[in-house]
Amino acid sequence: MRAVVQRVLSAEVSVGEETVGSMGRGLLALVGVAEGDGEAEARALASKLVHLRILADERGRMNRSLAETGETLGVVSQFTLLGDARKGRRPAFTEAAPPERAEPLIELLVERARAEGVAVVTGRFRAHMKVSLCNEGPVTLLIDTERRF
Please give the positions annotated as active site.
Answer: 78-80
CB atoms within 10 A of CB 33: 30
Closest by Cα among 83, 90, 78, 80 to 127: 78
CB atoms within 10 A of CB 147: 6
* Dihedral of the alpha carbons of 52, 55, 58, 61, in degrees to the nearest 10: 90
Q: What angle do CA 109, 47, 34 make, to 5 degrees?
A: 50
| Identity of the amino acid at 38 | G
